[in-house]
Every structure is written in structure tokens, then in C-alpha cells.
Structure 1
Amino acid sequence: MSELVEVERSTQLIRLKNSAGPTMAELHFSPIRLDFMDANKSVLVSLNSRGMLEFEHFRKRKPTEGEQVEEGVPVDEEEEPGMWEESFGTHRDSKPHGPSAISLDASFPGAKEVYGIPEHADTFALKDTSGTDPYRLYNLDVFEYEIGNPMALYGSVPFMIALGNRGTAVGVFWHNPSETWVDISKDSSNVVTQIVSMMAGTEKIPKVETQWISEAGIIDMFVLLGPGPKDVMRQYAALTGPTFLPPLWSLGLHNSRWNYNNEDDVRQVDAGFDAVDFPYDVMWLDIEHTDDKKYFTWDPVKFANPKAMIDNVASKGRKMVTIVDPHIKRDSSYFLHNDATSKGLYVKQSDGVTDYEGWCWPGSSGYLDFLKPETRKYWEERFLLENYQGSTLDLFTWNDMNEPSVFSGPEVTMHKDAIHHGGFEHRELHNANGFYFHWNTYLAHLRRAPNLRPFVLTRSFFSGSQRYAAVWTGDNMADWSHLDYTTAMLLSHSVTGISFIGADIGGFFNSPDAEMLVRWYQAAAFQPFARVHAHIETRRREPWLFDTDSLHRMRQAVRIRYSVLPLWYTLFYEATLSGVPPMRPIWMEFPAEEAAWTEQDSFMLGDVLLVRPVTTQGAKSVNVYFPGKEGTDLWYNFFGFHPVHHLGFQSLAVDMNTIPIYQRSGTILPKRERIRRSASLTLRDPFTLVVAVNATGQAHGSLYMDDGETFDYQKGKYLYLEFTFDQGKLSSKLKSGGDFQTDAWLERVVVLGLEREPSHVQLQEENAVESHELRWSHDPSSGAVVIRKPGVQMGVAWSISIN
């Protein structure tokens, strides 16, 4: 644990040094400014260099005639329009404390680009907002959101990464859940900026300046000094928590729509996937499964025997998910509403006494107050099997509409002057409302089954949501522009810790044609959370409803996803350790390459695969950026293993069958190529390792294995293997864990990039006295060497020598 140690003090400043590194800080007194510097004393981050530090204190309104004044409380004599209340159409927002906004500017000398602060349907590299609207963070239920707009969407993470100076990175986290605006100014003219140095002088460098403004709360900014992008991710994970390790099945394909009609519909769709050999793992039910929009109930006619329905799906290794939203139907025949009323569990109106009432799917609704301990305890109990009748341990939860969505409220959300437990106004915590909801749903699943990893999907989120829930990008559209912006949106989430992120395959609104749906499946195969979902008024889009060629292409995309589930699962495990997301911008692996800083069409899956989705209609070719150094880095085609020798941007021909996917030289890709109908059925299947040798004849990789669904891995019941290839020898050894038994074995090894065809191949197992020869073949067109059936158990140490 490092700390800042004072090394100098004067009447002008205090100079501090990082006890565990070369960075330092200077706090200047007049005007107040806080600079963070690297070892060369170049400023990395400067706070209040533009003098925008502001904070407004709570006030007491001037009493009206005859009103009693509390003794000792200062009265504010000012009376300005909007100071104590504002009106928006028919909505009134009272401000009992008066204006309470705060502001601070953060500048990044040397930075060219900044990223993060989701959620916005905008470019990955954040835009200069000078002269236009700043980026807004205010969680809202947005209908048919616009592309390329800084408007607020469903979630907020006030965290930003700045990149520049030969790939160095820093981050700032504005810890405030109230409505927030972020203004960005980029200095594209390379104007002269003062650099703190032992020697006097200036240097021309770029700079990005930002201002953070929140409606309420306190000034609480964290500065993360890197120096690299992965260092910033690690530091942010240490601050807000790493992503949870998802159950293996949750990394498979999810199938949903609003709504599957009844139990027969669910049964037929589930059987339909099997009939066309199309893998999937989770069946979802939207709001129509309930009895008149009362959560924790089932429609007595359409879903009369839910346990049998769930058990049928689970018999194939699959799971089910039902929606549970935060709005509670105000109905005297509904147990949950009666309990919430009698126990005082609802959020209150501005008077702090009357239950807050809004309008949502059930009609008149109340909203549970999760700041109240009694509410949290009550909510946990609702998910117990004896309370949630018809549920089983194979049923998990989807938290939607938790911004919260209030159809009758201002901007379709809760009034800011509503009162939560402890006297907090809703304005003070609005952006964390969804977090509190899905966090408590996660805890409820833990109480239901303490050793079973929960799965919760949330639409609304805040910093820290990555510890408890997957997230999706809300109500997107079946439109090529929405498919095109999906990568940028998911990357923006990923670099702010929201790693388990996805978008509705095919778009929520409207109906995609076959070409669009195929391209969406192909893109989603390499995105963290993969769920098909659609509006109730759209056409059904089960894959077998399309032509034979399109069905084949969709199935092939999903089968590819399932084949690389070992990589996905390993990357998510490593994310729990490092904070580095599985889905990454290219610059996270190649931070010094400026051409990658604005790249949002392609992305990396770990450090292994480069993926370029095809997102335009009728595309015959796409531009792909291949990073690296000429003569050092190679990229191998995922399908045919042929290498790409020239780096930078290249135009590649594409057809409808695949998208450009390339494996990076120097990596080892673990795969399972026996495709089952669900992920849990693959646990005993053998592995293939694809070894892509780099220019020095080396490659590295890893593989994580456990039971796929429990917390036993926290007790050491897992295998974390390290693979290395060097001087013609592929070796496997245990990196950590060990107390996990598996029948999985090594079926195939593919080696790419060998200079010559081998003469013989030998396997040496741990503790075996003799080695034995292995069969192999050589593909002269690609140079790939395929070693067949080494047959060694994955849980033991071994090596394969290629001579």
C-alpha cells in the first residue's frame, strides 16, 4: 500500500512523493491547484488548473410571514428564479436546501484522447464538446435512443481514461451518483503548455481539458496514475472492485423476447434449438409471465406449472431467467404491496411521509427504498424457494426499468425531491438507484443458495455494478447504425469496469432482415454477454424461421462462440485478478500506436484475438487495422491459419459466412471443438490448443477451469494452467489452484509459424519415465502443424517437443 509522503513545504505549495513509485504531487495554495507528475516531473493530471472548483452549500429559505424559524440555522436572503423550486411542464421539483451543485476541472497535459463515462450511444474516443452539449450522466429510460449523441442513457460510470505521451494512461473517477455533466475540450493545435521541470522552459504538447459538474453531493475525485492502460484498470478495480466470475453457462447464448406466450411456447422454442443443432444456454421470460405484472407470481393460465417448465429446460443443462422490476403494483390483493405499505418500505414523497407513487407497467406503482435495511432484508427473503413459488435453483433474475423508470415522472423517472431512508433526496443518489436494486438481488440469490454463483442482468448501473451484475445497452434498434455503434458502446463500458456487457442481438425495436441478423450474431459471438431479445410487436426471430443459408451462418457464429468459451472463461477469471476486461480496445494491448487510439470498428478478445465485425449492409470488403511492429508481429487467420504479414490498415474482402478474426502471434488459444447444446455439457470435453508462434519462436497462454457454477474455486478447487512454447517445446504447468479434478484431456495441438516441417513429435508427461511419439500432419499452404490426440490429462504437467 503506497502513500503520498511530504518532501517539501513552502508558503506557495506542498510537494509530495509516492512512497511506492516515481510519481509525485504538488498542491499549490494560491490559486489552489493540485498537479500529479511522473518521474520526469511532467504533469499527468492537473486539478483546478482552470479555476472551476465550485461548491454550493445547503441553505435555509427565507421564511414566509408568520413561519417559525429554527434557532441557530442561518437564513439565505437570496431569491432567484429556480433557486428553491423548478417546474418542468406539469412536474414540480422542490429544492429544500436550495442550489447544491459542485464542480471541478481536470486537465490532462500530453493526452490526445479520453474514453469512458458511459452510457452514451456515441464514439468510443470521446468528442470535444466545446460549443455543444456536454456528456450527461443521468440514468433514464430512453425510448429509441439516438446514435452519435451525448444524451444520457440507462447507466452511469463517472470514470475517464486519458491516453497520450507514447501510450501512457491516467484515469479520474468522480465519485458522485447525482446528475452529472462532463464537458470536454481537446487542444488539437498543439499549443504551448507549461511542463513542470527541473529546468525552465516549455514544450509543445497536446492537452485534454474536462470539467465535471454535479447537481448535489460532495467533491470526491480519485486520480489513477497508471502509467499504462492495464495499470489504470488494475487501480480502478482495486478502488471499485473487479468483475464477478460469471457462471460458465452465462457466457453461452441467451434467448429472450417480450414475451414467450406460455409454457407450450417455451417448450417448443427450446426443442426448436435442439432440432436444428443450435446451441444455447438460457431461456428468458419478460413481464407477461406474471399474474397481472405482479413480480414473484406466475400467470395462472399461461404459466400454470412453472417448476415443470424450468425442470424441462434444465434437463438439457440450461437455465431460465425471469424479469423482476422495481415498480410494485399498488393493489390491495398483492402481498408485496401490502407488506411494503405496512412495513414502510417504499420511497416517500417530498414530505418524507407519504409513499411515492408513480406509473409503470402495472399501472399505479410504489418503489422500494433499498437504502433502508429492512427493505434489503425483506427483498432477500422474496427469492427463497419457499417464498418465490414455482421457482427453482435453475431460475435467475433480470432487473429492468431500475433507473427507475416512472412513466408519469419528469423525464420518465423519479422526482428528484423524493425522500429515501435517512432523509436523502433522490437527486443525491439517482444514478446509484439501479445499483442498489441489482446489488440486493445478487445478495438475495446468495441467501437462496450461498455456494451457487448468482446471475443478475441489470439495465441501470453505476460504478461497482461490475461486482454483481451483467449489463446490456438497453432498447436498441434493428438498424445498421445501432449495430455499427455497438462495438464503441461496449468498449466504453469495458474500460470503465463494466466487463460483462452486451447488446440485444438483432435490436430490440423493429425486425431485422436475415442479413442484419446474421451480421449481429457474428458480432455478438465475440462480445461478452450474448442475448437475443426483441419487442413484443416485432416478428419472431428464432433462427429456423429464416432461410437455410442464414440459419447455417447464425449457427456457425454461435458454434464459434462456444468453441472459444475456454478463452472467455479464462479471461473473466483473469479479470477478477487484474481488472483488465476480456473485451478490449486495441490500444490496451498496443498503447503506443496512435492509429489505434480512435479505432472503434475492431477490438481485442484478451490479448489473443483481433475481431472486426461487419456492420454495413451489403459489405464486400472492410478495413481492418493490424497493430504491431513490422518484422516482429504476425496475425493468423482464425479459420485458415494463413498469416498476415503487412501491418496497419488493410482492406479485406468479406462474404456472408464469416467476419475477420485473427490470432496474434505469441499467443496460445484454448478451444473446445466438440459443440454441445449447452455450455455445462462441455465440462468433460477435450481441448485444442492453437499455438501462434512469434518472430522469436515463442508463445504464451493460459487456461482456467473449475466446476463452472459454484464458489468452490475460492477454496482452491480450480486449475489455472500456464502454457509456454519456446525452442520447439510446448509445456503446460500449474500456475495456481490444483484441488480440482477433471477428466478433460488434450485432443489436438495446432502450431502456426514454424520455420520448417517437423521430423518427429514427442510427448513427455509428468513423472513418466519415457516419452512417446505423436502423430502429426503438415499443411503446406498455411504452414500449420496439427498434432493429433496427445491424450494427456489437462490437470497434469506435460511437454510436447517438436523436432
Structure 2
Amino acid sequence: MRICDRSKCSGRRSQEKGRREILDSRHSVAGRAGVSICRMMETREMDRRKPNCLVALIVLLAAAVIGADAWKKDEFKRCDQTIFCKDARNRVDGSSNWFVSEVNVTNGKVRARLIEGGEGEHVGGSLILHLSAYEEGIIRLKVKEAEAKRKRFEVPEVVVKGLEDRRLWIQRVIEKDGASMVVLAGYEVVLLHRPFQLYVRSGKETLISLNAKGLFHFEQQREKKEGEDWDESFRSHTDSRPHGPQSIGFDVSFYGAEYVYGIPERATSLALKPTKGADIVSEPYRLFNSDIFEYLHDSVFGLYGAVPFMLSHSEKRTTGFFWLNAAEMLVDVMPKEKTETAEASRIDTHWITESGSFDVFFFIGPGPKDLIRQYTTVTGTSTMPQLFATAYHQCRWNYKDEADVAQVDAGFDEHDIPYDVLWLDIEHTDGKKYFTWDSVLFPNPKDMQDKIAAKGRKMVTIVDPHIKRDSNYYIHKEAQSKGFYIKDKHGRDYDGWCWPGSSSYLDMLDPEVRSWWADKFAYSSYQGSTPSLYIWNDMNEPSVFNGPEATMPRDNIHVGEVEHRDVHNAYGYYFHMASSEGLRKRADDNDRPFVLSRSFFAGTQRVGAIWTGDNTADWDHLKVSVPMLLTLGLTGITFTGADVGGFFGNPDPELLTRWYQLGAYYPFYRGHAHLDTKRREPWLFGEPYTSLIREAIHTRYALLPYFYTLFREANLNGLPLMRPIWMEYPKEIETYAMDDQFLLGSDLLVHGVYSERATSEDVYFPGSQMWFDVRSGASYSGGHTVKVPVIPESIPAYQRAGSIIPRKDRFRRSSFQMENDPYTLVVALNSSYEAQGELYLDDGKSYDFEKGAFIHRLFTFSKGRLTSVNLAPTEKGTKQFKTPCLVERIILLGLRPKDLSAHRVLIESSGAQVPAEVGAPLLRIGYHQANSLVVRMPNVRISDDWSIKVL
């Protein structure tokens, strides 16, 4: 029994509180005693099921001494407690003293030397600059020391392998007025010499710049001076900083910008608020992956992941900036101000990092979708998930045993609520040893999974990065013997504290370690796993309970003598990558993996899904989930969700219901809850809430064809499923700071209900077309804000006029059981009585779609005729996918009164006539539609070309 394995102790109050107790344990005598006992007991073989009340009492005493109620900001550094941040933030505009010399073109890139010093003087070593350009408006700038005693860390496995194939060959630079200019298609890059500045321009318009405010700072590595102290202490931890100060900082300005967005992850507004200015006193935005306990709903403080990508938007243009650097980073945003030469506004930002390399990208848009495609050209588009992963997931910390799992599974069937995945948290393991099962609680894991799989459902188990230091644990023994653990500054295997107690952490920067880890998911290695079992990576920031800022010391050592400070923000990404590769390697049937991760970095979209971590069951957290997910989507990470109901706390029935209704439109839809919360399976609150939650989940299942089509769009071009309104309506200024409503794709507008007992919500309808309520069919004109009534049965959701959305309206127990069900096409006509939409489908699980095995249909309604045409490749030799699915219903919205007199349609391919009904009900997710025409049973195949004429 160990302090961190408290689940069987009578003193079990909260494992999360215990985590804070351990974090602060070195500050109390009782805490130190608890850690000492726990370490002593590491050497003993004890029955882990016997409650060790002495340990529990020590833990509780430590809690009484230090308190551990919630997140404590004092456990994490402020800018003024970090040397590199404090120094950088104190620099004044124009303090940079670097100039450019020796500009030339080499191998299709611009090469130059940066020298520090004023006219006629030279201070310190010089830097080498490389400027390159790529197709579609992408510019890359790299700066490094001309001579360095130690190579700076360059983050691997983020930039896609094919990027260099898209590089443009720069032929020459134009020298004029103390500047070097590279002219490219539609824009130019200007490199000023004195002082060093870079501008990207289109015609006479400046788009984006670097060092225009003169804040460029590059701390070159040097020898320690006699008597100089490089150590940096925080609380009880000391960072030795063996290579000295290595900080890089600079300013980036976005011209013509109304707002800037990006740099997740934090629980705050979509549009980034200023952090520094004349009357603003705030911490900078921090990118430092951290395990934040009960995070605040409105804070600049960074959470579990980091993507150093920012974009700006205005009526005229969208631009972006990305810094490929995984060290701690801080970003200041200054208030918008007018430029000196134009009426357009400019937003200045200041970027600071502790270490790592200078490798930055500029993206010139011009539109929001162009910008996202440019960014994902560099970091990759979203992986294509299996169909089951896009449906509803049921999770809790923890379903306690196999009987509990069976009862929850049966409960969904009994109450006619579909779900696809049941999750198991850490308590399913043998003493927090991953890839194992508790032999008492889960004695027959294969049988358990097979019973779930018989209904087409899956299971997920958690696999965290901390490895229990137990000499009888095969994972630990192998990792230790192979030298696969991250080392401390003395070269020993790092020993930190997490759920199992004493733990070590695999060096996921090392490709050999990742490959070894991937092999552990093989069925022969992960005993008790089956093809229907998938994986959840938590705590991979990495979380270390007794480490500085609840994570790993920065002077720990990875492969190649890389310090942890350099790779910290990407550690969870590499762990996620290795786990995903493990599922792919185990799959003889070519299944796509599903791995959920809490920590992330740029490129995570290529690996799997993430969620927003340990949120709280309150209305503020429900509301802030929307800007959090929108921001992630803007930075390439599209398969995202927030814990429905809130992880901490006990939601009342109304809050839980509203969260299910909003979550039905999240890309990733999972209910989850903390160990100490009351059970909250969807039927436990009784009526009317069971029916309301059932209806919300049914809405998600009806829309699965639409979601899956959007996931394919994300896979192809990086566009997010959840989109800010301005992505589709870039000139509508009133939407730029709007983050309480969003678009799902281009055709569904969603507004949550964020307050108790709400009876109305103010909904803005963008564009000039109509929007149709998905339940009532009521129509609203675009370009207006309307106070719409709110009912218990749903949240405001609307279909865009001019769109066609495919649905499946027969409700089953899981998405698998819907496979051959017929489709409903909802045709919302615009003012020209036209509409268009798409449907993508494949086998829902394999990679055969990459060989052409998919169906892609374009539906068009024009001149009273609905047609279906093929968009998929038809070349010989491509793999084929077929489906027997039919269209069983066509719903036409927005018809003129005279059109409602039509009561039949002609199936032109067969010559058959089919009756139509006016104002027919839209099954269980809608009411009678006064302006609708419903065509029943046209029975055309979804995969065929056909045409249907309304008579």
C-alpha cells in the first residue's frame, strides 16, 4: 500500500486532494513523514488490498496542516519569478541592437548574417539567418548561432515530411534602400538591415512583421563567468540551468487586425485580451503544459497543452504566425492601435521563450480558411477517426468492477439511450501498473469486452506515462534494463511521484523508446486486451506530484543530452504518438487507432483526440467550453471535447441536461466525472431529465453522417468542425469577439444555454440567408440578433438556408447497429429555392479510404429537382466501398406556399411516383413543419446517381 494508492483505504477522501497534499508534502513535517514511509514501503511486498490506515492518517494530517482545497496559483511561477520572462518583459521598444549583413541566395533560400552592435561596433557572436518560402503563402525564418558549443534543440516530428517538396526556389533578392526584398506571387518579404526587421507585404499593404518594435533578443550560449550563479529556485526546487541563459524574444505585429486568436490552452475568451499596455496589469499568456487542479474559467494561465500559433483577423485579411519551439513560452498581447501611415489598426505581440530554437512561420491568408490550410500544410491535418469515436462515450473515475460495467451497459439499453464506448480509469489496474488488470475487480477482462462488443460497442482503458517502480512489474524491469527512462541531472533514472507512488518516466523523445512502447499494446503483451479496446493517455504533461510546478525538473535529461526544458511542451505529444502507433501496429485488420490525450502540441491533430481536462460542474465552465474548443480548432486540433457535466462537482439536473444538449455538437462527446462525485449516468435524475438527455444524445446520433463528413473535410484540408462565425462570414465585424455561439461546419448554427432557468437567448444569425430551427422549422433572417425562446427540450440550433444535411433518424443502441440504416436528407432552400450538401462515408474503421474505398456524394436542389452525383474517384484499380443504404425520407424546408400544393414527386431514374406530405413531423427530433414537404420512401440508393423531381 502506498500513499498514492489510496483507493482501498478508509481514509480515502479524494485522490485529487491527495495529489495536492503530496505536492506540498515537503512543506510539512507530516507530509515528509508520509513520503518517507511511502518510499520505505517501496522495498516491501505487501498485500495492496489491505487498508493501511497509518498512511491514510498521515496523508490526512498533511492535508490538515497545509490545506488542499483547490488550485493554488502560488504553486506555479509568475513572470516576475522567472528570470528570462522578467528580463524580457522589462525591455523597452527599440532596445534591440541587431543588424543584417552578407545577404545572398544559397540553394533557393536567402542567407544572411545577424550581428549585434551599433554602427562600427560588434558585440558578441553572430547569428545565421535563413529565409525560405513555400507554396500557398508560407514563409519560414530560421535563426541560429554561427558557432555554438551546444546545438539548440529543434523540435522533431511536427513539421510534415512533405513540406520541403512545396518549397519555392528563391532566385534572387532585390537590394534597395538598406533592405533586401524577395518578391513572390502576390506578396513580398522585406528584410531591413539596420535595425534587423522583417516585413511581409502585399502591394502597399503591410501584413505582418517581426521586430518592428525592436524587441528581438537572442541569448547566445557562453561560458559561465567566475562567481556567476546560474541556478534558479522556485519554492523548494532548484533548477541548475547547466547551460546558462538561452532565452529568445521578439515582437510580432499583425497589421489591419481587429483581434488575435490562438495560443491554446486556457479557459478564457476566443479573442485574446490584451495583457500589457498603459492601463493593463496582467500576467502574459503562458504556454507551459501543466496539470492544473480545478482550473479557473477565466484566466490567462496555461493548461495541459500548448500550440504556439496565433492568427489575426479583420474584414480585409487573416494572417498567422507559428513558432516551432517546445520550451516554456510566454506571449504578451498589446491593445489594438492605429498604424502611423493608415487608418487600419495593428496589434503588437511579444513572444518570449526560455530556450530552444528560433524557427518561425508566417502565413498570409488572405481568408480564414486559407490561413488554416496554410498552417496545416506545415503541421498536418486531422487524422480520420473511426465512426464509433464520433458517437457518445460514457466515462467515470471509476467504474468499479465488471458487474458495474455490465449494469451501466444494461442501463443504457433499458432506457433506450445509445452509446458507443465505456471507459475505465486508473482503478481497473493492478496497483496503478498500466497494461494490467485488478484480478479481483476485473478477473475476466476479455469476456467483459466481448459482451460489450457484441452490441457493436467498444471499451477504453487508461494508460499514463508514469511507470511504477516495482521490481516485479515487467514494464518497469524492461525499461530500466534498456535505459529507457528520462534521467535526472546526475544521470540516474528520474524518480518522481504520481498515482502509483514512486515512478519513472519513459523518454518519449527517443524513437527507439516510442517503438518499444508501441509494441506493448500488442495483444500478446497487453494481456486481457481485445480488438475492441482503445486507449486514453492522461497525466502526460507530464504530471509529477512532487516536481516543480507539478511536473518534471527542467534540467532532467532526454536522449541526445536534450534538457527537459527544451522538450517539455511536446512530451505529451510524443507519448500520444507512441500510444497511437501501438494501436496501429497491433491491428491486423488495418483499424484506425483511437487514443485520447490530455496533453498536446502542434501536430497532435495527426495523432488523435484531446479533451479540455479537469473542468468543473458549473455554468461558467459550460460556457467557456465553447471558446476553448473553438481556439483548438483554429490551431489545427479539430477532434476535441469537454467533459460533459463537468469533472469536478455535482451538476444539478438542469445544468447536466444543458451540457448534454451542447455536448451533442462537440466534435468529441463524452460524459465524465470525478471519483468523489455522485453517480450521474443519464437516467439517474429521473423524468423529465432522462428523456431530455436521451433526446440530446439521439440528436448526436441522427447527425453522425454530417459529423463524419466534416471529419473527412478536416482530414483533407484541416478545417475545424466547430468554427467561429467569422470563419464562414469573415466580413461580419460583430462576430469577431463572439464565442457563445458557433458553427458546426458551414450549415449548423448552435447557441448554448448558459444560465439557470433561462427562457430566452440572444442569437445572432449571420449572412443574408434564412436560418431554420432544426426542431420547429421556424425561420429567421440573417444579419440580425434575435431574442429566441428557449425550451427545456433543446438548445438553439439552426440549419442554414441553401444547405442539405444528411441524417440517420432510426435510433439504435450504437453507431455500429446503424450501419445499414437509411438516410434522411434535410433540404433547406434559400431565396433562390436552391440548396447543396455533401455526404462522405466509408467502412468507418480501416485505412481503405486512403486507397479510394469511400463514397462521396454531392446533393443539389435546383429548379425543383434534387440530384445526387458522385465526387469519389472512379479510376480502375482503386479499392471500392459499397453500401446497401437507401434514402427513406427527404424533407424540404423553405418552400413557397404554392409549392406546398405538390403532393407527389417523380423518381426520374425509375419513373416511379412517390407521395409527399405537407407539414409532416420530423420524427423524434422535431415538430410539425408548417413550411415543409416530406417525401417518404423514395428508396433511391445513397451511393447511386439519381434525380427526383417535385411535381
Q: Normalised by the size of structure 1, how large is the TM-score?
A: 0.94
Shift of 1:771: 2.2
Q: Deviation digits for residues 333-365 of structure 1, max 9, x if unmatched?
A: 1111111111101000012x2000100000000
Shift of 1:726: 1.3
Shift of 1:760: 5.9
For residues 243 and 782 of structure 1, the distance between their equivalents in structure 2, rounded to whole angstroms, comes to 40
**Counterpart code for 1:26:** V
Q: Is 1:108 the counterpart of 2:271 in the alignment?
A: no
For residues 32 and 321 of structure 1, the distance between their equivalents in structure 2, rounded to whole angstroms, comes to 53
For residues 268 and 400 of structure 1, the distance between their equivalents in structure 2, rounded to whole angstroms, comes to 26
Aligned partner (choices 194, 199, 213) of residue 50 of structure 1: 213
**Counterpart code for 2:217:** E
**Counterpart code for 1:153:** L
Q: Is the 8 A contact 1:688 1:747 kept in 2?
A: yes
Q: Is 1:340 the counterpart of 2:476 in the alignment?
A: no
For residues 264 and 776 of structure 2, the distance between their equivalents in structure 1, rounded to whole angstroms, comes to 37
**Counterpart code for 1:506:** G
**Distance change (3 Å), C-alpha of 1:45 and 1:778:** same
For residues 37 and 782 of structure 1, the distance between their equivalents in structure 2, rounded to whole angstroms, comes to 53
Q: Is the 8 A contact 2:215 2:250 kept in 1?
A: yes
For residues 371 and 145 of structure 1, the distance between their equivalents in structure 2, rounded to whole angstroms, comes to 28
> What residue number does 2:843 align with?
707
**Distance change (3 Å), C-alpha of 1:478 and 1:327:** same
- Helix, strand or coil at the partner of 2:674: coil
**Counterpart code for 1:653:** P
Equivalences for residues 32-43 of structure 1 within 5 A? 32-38=196-202, 40-43=203-206
Q: Bigger shift: 424-433 or 679-688?
A: 679-688
Q: Deviation digits for residues 506-547 of structure 1, max 9, x if unmatched?
A: 111111110110000000000110111111100000112112
Q: Is the 8 A contact 1:668 1:690 kept in 2?
A: yes
**Counterpart code for 2:449:** I
Q: Bigger shift: 641-650 or 426-435?
A: 641-650
> What residue number does 2:763 align with?
624
Q: Deviation digits for residues 196-227 of structure 1, max 9, x if unmatched?
A: xxxxxx32221111111110011111011110
Q: Deviation digits for residues 451-472 of structure 1, max 9, x if unmatched?
A: 1000000000000001111000
Q: Is the 8 A contact 1:112 1:186 kept in 2?
A: no
- Helix, strand or coil at the partner of 1:257: coil
> What residue number does 1:179 align with?
328
Equivalences for residues 336-485 of structure 1 within 5 A? 336-351=475-490, 353-449=491-587, 451-485=590-624
Q: Deviation digits for residues 361-411 of structure 1, max 9, x if unmatched?
A: 000000000122331222111100011000001000000000000001001
For residues 759 and 907 of structure 2, the distance between their equivalents in structure 1, rounded to whole angstroms, comes to 47
- Helix, strand or coil at the partner of 1:487: helix
Q: Is 1:10 the counterpart of 2:176 in the alignment?
A: yes
Aligned partner (choices 879, 882, 886) of residue 745 of structure 1: 886
Aligned partner (choices 307, 315, 321) of residue 446 of structure 2: 307
Aligned partner (choices 1, 24, 27) of residue 188 of structure 2: 24
> What residue number does 2:930 align with?
782
> What residue number does 2:815 align with?
679
Shift of 1:591: 0.7
Q: Is the 8 A contact 2:609 2:668 kept in 1?
A: yes
Equivalences for residues 593-604 of structure 1 within 5 A? 593-604=732-743
Q: Is the 8 A contact 1:167 1:593 kept in 2?
A: no
Q: Is 1:772 the counterpart of 2:912 in the alignment?
A: yes
**Counterpart code for 1:746:** V
**Distance change (3 Å), C-alpha of 1:517 and 1:771:** same
> What residue number does 1:68 align with?
none
- Helix, strand or coil at the partner of 2:939: coil
Q: Is the 8 A contact 2:462 2:538 kept in 1?
A: yes
Q: Is 1:716 the counterpart of 2:879 in the alignment?
A: no
Q: Is the 8 A contact 2:311 2:318 kept in 1?
A: yes
Q: Normalised by the size of structure 2, how large is the TM-score?
A: 0.79
> What residue number does 2:272 align with?
126
**Counterpart code for 2:945:** A
Shift of 1:237: 1.1
Q: Deviation digits for residues 107-154 of structure 1, max 9, x if unmatched?
A: 011101011110001111100111311100000000000111100100
Equivalences for residues 144-223 of structure 1 within 5 A? 144-164=294-314, 166-188=315-337, 191=338, 193-194=339-340, 202-223=341-362
Shift of 1:782: 3.0
Q: Is the 8 A contact 1:717 1:737 kept in 2?
A: no
Q: Is 1:139 the counterpart of 2:139 in the alignment?
A: no
> What residue number does 2:711 align with?
572
> What residue number does 2:702 align with?
563
> What residue number does 2:731 align with?
592
- Helix, strand or coil at the partner of 1:204: coil
For residues 295 and 781 of structure 1, the distance between their equivalents in structure 2, rounded to whole angstroms, comes to 53
Q: Bigger shift: 173-182 or 6-15?
A: 6-15
**Distance change (3 Å), C-alpha of 1:411 and 1:329:** same
**Counterpart code for 1:550:** Y
Q: Deviation digits for residues 403-433 of structure 1, max 9, x if unmatched?
A: 0000010010000000000000000010000
- Helix, strand or coil at the partner of 1:220: strand
**Distance change (3 Å), C-alpha of 1:341 and 1:121:** same
Q: Is the 8 A contact 2:777 2:929 kept in 1?
A: no
**Counterpart code for 1:437:** F
Shift of 1:617: 1.2
Shift of 1:778: 1.9
Q: Is 1:801 the counterpart of 2:949 in the alignment?
A: yes
> What residue number does 1:69 align with?
none
For residues 666 and 697 of structure 1, the distance between their equivalents in structure 2, rounded to whole angstroms, comes to 8
Shift of 1:737: 4.1
Shift of 1:78: 7.6
For residues 678 and 537 of structure 2, the distance between their equivalents in structure 1, rounded to whole angstroms, comes to 24
**Counterpart code for 2:193:** F
**Counterpart code for 1:277:** D
Q: Is the 8 A contact 1:33 1:49 kept in 2?
A: yes
Q: Bigger shift: 733-742 or 656-665?
A: 733-742
**Counterpart code for 1:777:** E
Q: Which stretches in structure 2 are left out of the alignment for 5+ residues?
A: 1-133, 136-167, 875-879, 920-927
Q: Deviation digits for residues 610-631 of structure 1, max 9, x if unmatched?
A: 00010111111111111112xx
Q: Which stretches in structure 1 are left out of the alignment for 5+ residues?
A: 63-76, 195-201
For residues 912 and 574 of structure 2, the distance between their equivalents in structure 1, rounded to whole angstroms, comes to 58
**Counterpart code for 2:313:** L
> What residue number does 2:236 align with?
90
Q: Deviation digits for residues 76-124 of structure 1, max 9, x if unmatched?
A: x583xxx511111211101111110101211011101011110001111
Q: Is the 8 A contact 1:141 1:403 kept in 2?
A: yes
- Helix, strand or coil at the partner of 2:378: helix
Shift of 1:59: 2.2
Q: Deviation digits for residues 282-341 of structure 1, max 9, x if unmatched?
A: 000000000000000000100000000000111100000000000000011111111111
Q: Is the 8 A contact 2:905 2:916 kept in 1?
A: no
Shift of 1:41: 2.1
**Distance change (3 Å), C-alpha of 1:563 and 1:58:** same
For residues 374 and 567 of structure 1, the distance between their equivalents in structure 2, rounded to whole angstroms, comes to 40
Aligned residues: 765
